[in-house]
Every structure is written in structure tokens, then in C-alpha cells.
Chains A and B, each alone.
Chain A
Amino acid sequence: MNNLFQISIGLLLVVFTYGTCNAQTIIIKQTVPEQLEDDDEDFGPNRKFFNHTYGGLAFGVDGVSMDGEVFSPIKHINSFSFYSGTRYYRNFSKIFAGVADYELSYDQSRLKLGDGDSTQLPVSRLDLAKAKYWFVKMGGALSLQINFKRKRGNQLGTYITIGGYGNWLMFKRFSAKYENDLSSYTNITRVNLGKLKYMERFEYGPEVKFGKTNFAFFAKYRLSDYFKSKEGVWDFNELPRLNVGIQFFPGNI
């Protein structure tokens, strides 16, 4: 056993020494392509294919409805969405391109709890201080892009896209905060409700974007309802359907 150990150590030393003796350190190595465009023949903002990541921020806009619908009132600054995703382009011509997005988003709508507001809530209104719906969504969008002011070189120019989006609501939550002195330990009580039975799993609607190089303004209108209705049981007012915001694209685009 002792011999075996010594032989193993000896072998390791031989291997290590051989490796060290033969070691050469390459500091720089470059292989030159036959043509420079080989690197990105089809890829780039003004080539056939392109993709980039993006992040965005949007806010819900109250009072915009197709048929005079009444919405749950929301607090505007506290009702927002964060987006993060990847956008893929397929340029068909100098003017038209197909665009596909997939994205993850966090969306919250903080409700405005006024005296005159009669919106149905899934919790008691007594001593209710704050209430919000929040969702984590995963989804995508398909659009047609019109490049009406194309840039020279390999850069996105100015464009407008028109299309539709769809999201799966991975997490649907309702959070409420009560301020009362019912407990001898605290005067704040929080309630979190999950797996909300009265909510739909999917949403969809049209979307438009106006973009220029590293950013785009966008507007989404949700055609589908968030809330299911059940006569005499569930009669929730919808959350605002319109979202407007801005997306940023990092890097040299």
C-alpha cells in the first residue's frame, strides 16, 4: 500500500513536470476571416436577422375604454409594470420587418380606496388602508414593423410596429393592509390572497410601438378581462386596460 502511494506520487510528479516543461502561454491569437462581413453576414439591425434584449417601464392609464366601461380606480404612480425580454427581428425589406418578443413582467395596480368607491374587493373594507393586485406574467408579442426612417449603417432607425400580445399570468395575487388595534401585538395586519379563482389565466390585446435606436414608446390595450363574473357572487370592476410606457435597449443598436 505504501509502495502504491509512492508510485502514484512519482507518476503525478512526472506528469506535472512534463506538463510544465511543455507549457507555452498564448497571449494573443487571432484567426483572420476571409472577408470581414463573414462575422455577421446576416445579423444586424439593418440586415436580415437581429435580436436584442430590452427592459421597460409602463404605467396604467385610467379612463380609456372602448364602451364606457367603469374601472377600479387606481393610484397612478403606484400602478406600474416592469418588463424584461428579448426581441427578434426578421427584415423582409428595407421598410417591413416581422418582430417577435418574449418577455417576463411584473405588474401591479394599487387601488384607490375612496369613500364613494363601491368596487368589489375579495376582502373586507373595514379599516382597509391599502390594497393592490400584482401579477407576474410571461408572454410574447408578434408585430409588423414599418421602418419609415431607416438609418445608414448597421443601426435601427425610426420605426413603428403594430401587432398583438398575449401573456400567461404565472402569479396572481391580491395584497391588503389593515390598520387597526385588534391585536395587542401590532396595529398593522397584512393579507395576501393567491390562486384567485375569479381571475382569468391569460390576457391579450393589441400593441403599438414607436421606436428610435435605443428606445421605444409603446402602448398596450388589454382586450381580455382579468376578472370572471358569476352573477350575484363575483362582480369585480376591471382594472384599467391601457398601459403606456417606454422600453430601453442596451448596447450599440
Chain B
Amino acid sequence: MKFIFSTILILFGLTLFAQDKFWVFLSDKDGVEFDPMTYFDAKAIERRLKHDLPLVEESDKPLRTDYFNAVNILSDTVSGHSRWFNAMAVVVSSEAQLQAIQSLPFVVDVVPMVSQSYLAEELVGGLKNGEKSVLKGQINWMQGEKFKAANITGKGVRICIIDAGFPGVDVAEEFAHIRKRKGIIATWDFHKNNSQVYKFNSHGSTVLSCIAGITSNGENVGMATGAEFLLARTERMLKEGLSEEEDWLMAVEWADKNGADIINSSLGYTTSLYFKENMDGKTALITRAGNMAAHKGILVVNASGNEGDGYWKYVGAPADADSVLTVGGINPWTGIHTSFSSYGPTADMRMKPNVAAYGHVIAYGFRTGLHETQGTSFASPLVAGFAACVLQKDSSLKVMDLFKKLESSSNLYPYYDYAHGFGVPQASNILEEVEKAPKTVELKIIWDSLFVDILPEYYEMNDQVVINYHSKFIGKKSPDNMHMVDSFISDDSNTKQEQPNYLFYKVSTKDGLIKEYSVIASQKMNVLKKVIKNNNNYIFTVWYKGYTTSIVIEKEKQAKKEGGNE
């Protein structure tokens, strides 16, 4: 029995005396002086002027030294601080310390900090057939070759990558063109507090290659090969960190100080810190930091996450922030949402993800060189690279204009759903006036049903769908939630060279909140019949071959056409 009690006491003791980490939020910055000209990089000042922001905002000022010192004395360590949120990250080892800090008159709130983030990468062993086709597709699906032909490479745009490490970036051939022109402006490791980021986990190197990598035979891996970079290491793989959320926040502020125009962040926080209902765009600290970055004129591009086929299913933080551009994943072999890509909406029912890109890519790895890997981690930098090209094309764009331009350039726009957002951004929509798609589909109400008919001249059979899974849709109730297994709609060797001729439809409220959405491989022209009595007062919207049309179902047996984009 002694053994049992001794074991319990030892284990209990280990826990009781463990150190804990907290955010301490302070009340004010009264009397603090701040010179923006010495603190900010020239590009940061330029960005503020472009966005009509004052050169000094309260959130830019440093913390009050007397407050800082008072909290510092009462804690074991101050591991970091945030100007934006007027907060300090502190380590304490006793309840008494915590109470003493809480009782300080200028302390507004104390919040425990525990985190375990996901890096939105799914590891794949070995290369599949057709990797060259994937490499080509990850650029061509966004029409990146058009940017290249127009010599648009993101030149003059500064991108900050927040990730887990960047080994190989200082030596690998895929980044030689960036090193040659001294395109890496600054680096910082927020764990070690030094500038040595070219080691640790190579996730960040893979992400950088998806923004700006070039293969040895001159093929682009990403689109922004001419951009400038800030590399920040905040994540530790295979370790439950106490400080990663804190580091992310400090890295965003560092990016602001150093003049970043775009931040790519391929990580997020879900079940380790939050419940699904917390993904409301205002609860998570890094979500608020993402919105603050947008306020400062920085476009934050974030992966939607790889929880689509898991327990969590929905986007995490900071992807839930309304001003963060959330990127979902496309399966190259099916041309639609890849099953692991996290779905929207947010907990407060806002649309997410915003756009999508390849979620399976060929990219640089430290020990593997160019290899196939998957995850929305890599969809995000593809879009960040695209965004840099858009910003080079029109450098006067303010951050939310850029955000909206990326959405409106996407292939499904104005249609959207919670799996694809507005779809994949298209360079042709940025570079030239694209003719509007012709009318391809017609909606009709007959008796109590809504019919969707594809016009004969635009109808194509879907012979690539290898089996009829849940076929006989008409007259039968299909399951509420389903995602066909990818192998049923692809032979897993050749990627789709263009958008497959699937029909997208959704049923939404007049406020745009989607009740149901679907993607159908049509195998006859009259694609769909929907009983309208269950959908009274909803809007029914269909997308087919670039054409979007919708109908308002106002009451049973009557409907009003709202019009398409012809």
C-alpha cells in the first residue's frame, strides 16, 4: 500500500508545483511616448498611409514600464507581451502569485494559456503517379501562367510566413532566386529569441516553396517568386506548447512592425483550446489578432484546417476571423473539395472558407526535396502567392479591397458554399475582362416542385464518375451529410486539367445563410427535382459551368425568379 500512496503523492506533487502560463491584460497606456519613425519599417509606414491609418494608434504604443515592472516582479518569468492587446504573457508557479497579480489595480483580466495547435498538414508516404501533373495543376488551376506571362511575380510585396521552421531555405536550389536578390528581409524565432530559423521542422520551408519556389528546371511551385519575405518561427512540432498562441500573436505584431503586406499562417487552434461554439470570430485571442492585423492593413491568409473528416469538422481559430482570408483545399484528382478540408460556417454562421486552392501539392521538403504532400497548409500559401501578384498588379488596393477582389475572382463567384467558399481564384479575372458565362441551366416550378434543367447545348455526361454512389436521387431521400470517397470519382493518377462539369446547388435564407448544399455529377439534363413545400421562403441557387442562377421560393406552388449572371 505504501507503494500506491507514494506513487500518487509523487505524481500529485509533480502537478501541484507545475508552472502555469497566463495572459495578463493591462488597463491603459497613459503617458507612454512612442516614435513611429524609429519603430516601424518604412514599408509599414507606407502601408499605414495607404490605408489612411494614423501613424500612431493606441495599439501600437509599448506597454507602460511601471505596469510591466510591477507584474514582472510578481511573476516567475515574463515570456512575451502584446502591444496590440496591452497584455503580458507571464509564468507563475503559485496561486498566491496569481492572486497578487490579479489584485493589481491596473490589471483588467488574467486568462490561462494552454494550447495545442494543428499544423494543417497531412503526411503522405511516397510519391503518387502524376506528380508532375499536380505541380502543373497547383499553378494552372489559378491560371498562374497568366501572371507569369505578364511578368507579375509579387515583386515589391512583403509576405510574412508564420510557421514551425525553415530548414533548407538557406541552401536549397528551390529558393536560390530569393537568396540571390536578398529577398529574405528578416527572420525571427519566437521560441529561442534569435534569428536562426533555418532548422527545426521543415513545414515552413514547404509553405515558402508553395508561395515562391522554383524547381531546378524553372517550373514555378508557387506564384510570388519575386516577393520579399519575413520568416517567423512560432510552432513546435510534436510538442504540446504553452506559448505557441502567444508567439503567433507576437509574430503578427513583428510582421506589422517590419512592413508585411500579407501574412501566411498555415496553422490553427481547435479542440485543445476551444469548443466549436467559440469559433465565432471574436472569442479566440488569435482570431482577434487576425482582425487587428487586417485593421492595420495586412492581409492574413490562413488554412481552413484538416478537420473536415474528423470530429471537429469546422474551421478553427484564427480561420474564423471575418477579416482573415480562409483557404480550403481542392482535390486535384476530383476537382472539388478534398474530404479533409475543414468546412464552414463559423459558429455565428458566417461564410467560411472564403476561397480554395489545391490541398495536395508538390513542394519542397528538407530531406525529401520536391515531394507530394497534402493539407490546407499548402492551399493557403498558394493563395497568399496569388494575393501578392494581385497586389503587385494594383498596389493601391487596400486590404479589404484585396480580400474582396480575391473572392470575386474565384471560379464559382458569386456562388459560394461552406466547402469551397467562392472557389479557386482565377488570374484571368484579375488581368482582363472576362466574358460572362452564358446561360447553361434553367430553373422551373411545376406544381409543388422545383426542376433544374441543363440546357441541351451545354450538357455533358460525367463519365469520370466511376460508380453510381447514392444514385437515383430523384424521388429518394439522400443522406443529410455525405462526401463521396475520392477514389470513386477519380482514377487517382491524372489530375483534372479543368473544372469538372458538376452542378453545384444550395438552399439558403435571404440573409445568405446556407441550409443545404450539394455537388452533383449530372447524368441527364433534368438534373434535379426539389419539393418546394419544405423550402418555403428560401433561395435556391445553382451553379453550372460558370453560370449562377437563383430563385426565391416565396410560398408553396409559387416562386419568383431572381435572375442569373448572364
Enumerate chain A residues within 8 angstroms of B514, measured Cβ to Cβ: 32
Within the complex, which residue of B116, B334, B470 is in contact with A26, where a contact is CB–CB below 8 Å? B470
Asked if residues A30 and B418 are in contact (CB atoms below 8 Å), the reply is: yes
Within the complex, which residue of A30, A66, A217 is in contact with B1, where a contact is CB–CB below 8 Å? A66
Asked if residues B271 and A160 are in contact (CB atoms below 8 Å), the reply is: no
Enumerate chain B residues within 8 angstroms of A23, measured Cβ to Cβ: 468, 471-473, 523-524
Asked if residues B527 and A29 are in contact (CB atoms below 8 Å), the reply is: no
A251 to B271, CA, bound (A): 12
Q: Mark A20-37, 1 if CB is under 8 A from B, else 0.
A: 111111111111100111
Enumerate chain A residues within 8 angstroms of B346, measured Cβ to Cβ: 36
Asked if residues A37 and B277 are in contact (CB atoms below 8 Å), the reply is: yes
Given A37-B276, A152-B272, output 12 extra A-B contacts at Cβ < 8 Å: A19-B471, A19-B472, A24-B473, A25-B521, A27-B336, A27-B465, A27-B483, A27-B489, A28-B518, A152-B112, A153-B275, A252-B312
Give the 7 A-B residue pairs with the shortest CB-CB distance, closest first: A31-B480, A23-B471, A25-B521, A29-B518, A28-B519, A37-B277, A36-B276
The A-contacting residues of B in range 439-498, CB under 8 angstroms, are 462, 465, 468-474, 478-484, 489
A15 to B514, CA, bound (A): 36
Asked if residues B15 and A31 are in contact (CB atoms below 8 Å), the reply is: no
Asked if residues A242 and B4 are in contact (CB atoms below 8 Å), the reply is: yes
Q: Does A82 contact B (CB under 8 A)?
A: no
Total contacting residues, chain A, CB less than 8 A: 42
Enumerate chain A residues within 8 angstroms of B191, measured Cβ to Cβ: none
Q: Mark A89-109, 1 if CB is under 8 A from B, else 0.
A: 000000000000000000000
Interface centre among A28, A242, A244 (most CB of B within 10 A): A28
The A-contacting residues of B in range 389-432, CB under 8 angstroms, are 417-419
Stretch at the interface among B5-13, B76-84, B99-107, B375-383: B5-13
Instruction: With CB as the reference atom, state the residue of chain B lying closest to A24.
Output: B473
A35 to B313, CA, bound (A): 13
Q: Does B97 contact A (CB under 8 A)?
A: no
Instruction: With CB as the reference atom, state the residue of chain B lying closest to A210.
Output: B11
Within the complex, which residue of B484, B523, B527 is in contact with A28, where a contact is CB–CB below 8 Å? B484
Enumerate chain B residues within 8 angstroms of A51, measured Cβ to Cβ: none
Min distance, Cβ B547 to any Cβ of chain A, angstroms: 19
Label chain A's interface by main secondary structure: mixed
Enumerate chain A residues within 8 angstroms of B276, measured Cβ to Cβ: 36-37, 39-40
Do A28 and B337 form a contact, CB below 8 Å, given A39-B313, A152-B112? yes
A31 to B538, CA, bound (A): 14
Enumerate chain B residues within 8 angstroms of A61, measured Cβ to Cβ: 3
Min distance, Cβ B230 to any Cβ of chain A, angstroms: 30
Enumerate chain B residues within 8 angstroms of A24, measured Cβ to Cβ: 471-474, 520-524, 527-528
Min distance, Cβ B130 to any Cβ of chain A, angstroms: 21
The A-contacting residues of B in range 512-548, CB under 8 angstroms, are 513-524, 527-528
Q: Does B273 contact A (CB under 8 A)?
A: yes
Asked if residues A28 and B483 are in contact (CB atoms below 8 Å), the reply is: yes
Enumerate chain A residues within 8 angstroms of B212, measured Cβ to Cβ: none
Enumerate chain B residues within 8 angstroms of A153, measured Cβ to Cβ: 270-275, 278
- Please list 15 pairs of residues, one from A and one from B, whose beta carbons are closer than 8 Å in the complex, sorted by A's number: A21-B524, A23-B473, A24-B471, A26-B518, A27-B520, A28-B482, A29-B519, A30-B343, A30-B517, A35-B277, A36-B345, A36-B346, A151-B272, A153-B278, A210-B11
Enumerate chain B residues within 8 angstroms of A155, measured Cβ to Cβ: 116, 271-272
A195 to B18, CA, bound (A): 51
A positions within 8 Å CB-CB of B: 19-32, 35-37, 39-40, 44, 46, 61, 64, 66, 148-149, 151-155, 158, 160, 208, 210, 217, 219, 221, 242, 244, 251-252
Total contacting residues, chain B, CB less than 8 A: 70
Enumerate chain B residues within 8 angstroms of A210, measured Cβ to Cβ: 7-8, 11-12
A152 to B114, CA, bound (A): 7
Asked if residues B1 and A64 are in contact (CB atoms below 8 Å), the reply is: yes
Do A160 and B8 form a contact, CB below 8 Å, given A25-B521, A28-B419? yes
Asked if residues B11 and A217 are in contact (CB atoms below 8 Å), the reply is: yes
Asked if residues A36 and B271 are in contact (CB atoms below 8 Å), the reply is: no
Asked if residues A25 and B468 are in contact (CB atoms below 8 Å), the reply is: yes
Enumerate chain A residues within 8 angstroms of B12, measured Cβ to Cβ: 160, 210
Instruction: With CB as the reference atom, state the residue of chain B lying closest to A148.
Output: B15
A36 to B114, CA, bound (A): 23
A151 to B514, CA, bound (A): 33
Asked if residues B528 and A31 are in contact (CB atoms below 8 Å), the reply is: no
A208 to B3, CA, bound (A): 12
Asked if residues B271 and A30 are in contact (CB atoms below 8 Å), the reply is: no
Asked if residues B516 and A30 are in contact (CB atoms below 8 Å), the reply is: yes
A40 to B278, CA, bound (A): 13
Min distance, Cβ B20 to any Cβ of chain A, angstroms: 9
A11 to B233, CA, bound (A): 68
Enumerate chain B residues within 8 angstroms of A22, measured Cβ to Cβ: 472, 474, 524
Min distance, Cβ B79 to any Cβ of chain A, angstroms: 18
Instruction: With CB as the reference atom, state the residue of chain A lying closest to B339.
Output: A28
Min distance, Cβ A116 to any Cβ of chain B, angstroms: 25
Min distance, Cβ B94 to any Cβ of chain A, angstroms: 14
A35 to B278, CA, bound (A): 11
Within the complex, which residue of B114, B336, B470, B517 is in contact with A25, where a contact is CB–CB below 8 Å? B470
A19 to B474, CA, bound (A): 10
Instruction: With CB as the reference atom, state the residue of chain A lying closest to B313.
Output: A39
The A-contacting residues of B in range 499-523, CB under 8 angstroms, are 502, 513-523
Q: Does B237 contact A (CB under 8 A)?
A: no
Q: Does B160 contact A (CB under 8 A)?
A: no
Enumerate chain B residues within 8 angstroms of A25, measured Cβ to Cβ: 462, 465, 468-471, 473, 484, 520-521, 523
Asked if residues B273 and A152 are in contact (CB atoms below 8 Å), the reply is: yes
Q: Mark B221-241, 1 if CB is under 8 A from A, else 0.
A: 000000000000000000000
Enumerate chain A residues within 8 angstroms of B478, measured Cβ to Cβ: 26, 29
Asked if residues B484 and A26 are in contact (CB atoms below 8 Å), the reply is: yes
Q: Does B314 contact A (CB under 8 A)?
A: yes
Instruction: With CB as the reference atom, state the residue of chain A lying closest to B516.
Output: A31
A219 to B471, CA, bound (A): 54
Asked if residues A29 and B480 are in contact (CB atoms below 8 Å), the reply is: yes
Instruction: With CB as the reference atom, state the residue of chain A lying closest to B113.
Output: A152
Min distance, Cβ B363 to any Cβ of chain A, angstroms: 26
A242 to B3, CA, bound (A): 9
Enumerate chain A residues within 8 angstroms of B418, measured Cβ to Cβ: 30, 32
Asked if residues B271 and A154 are in contact (CB atoms below 8 Å), the reply is: yes
Min distance, Cβ B92 to any Cβ of chain A, angstroms: 14
Within the complex, which residue of A30, A39, A208 is in contact with B419, where a contact is CB–CB below 8 Å? A30
Enumerate chain A residues within 8 angstroms of B524, measured Cβ to Cβ: 21-24
The A-contacting residues of B in range 272-293, CB under 8 angstroms, are 272-279
A61 to B346, CA, bound (A): 52
A64 to B1, CA, bound (A): 6
Min distance, Cβ B499 to any Cβ of chain A, angstroms: 13
Within the complex, which residue of A32, A158, A160, A242 is in contact with B516, where a contact is CB–CB below 8 Å? A32
A25 to B527, CA, bound (A): 10
Min distance, Cβ B241 to any Cβ of chain A, angstroms: 14
Q: Does B310 contact A (CB under 8 A)?
A: yes
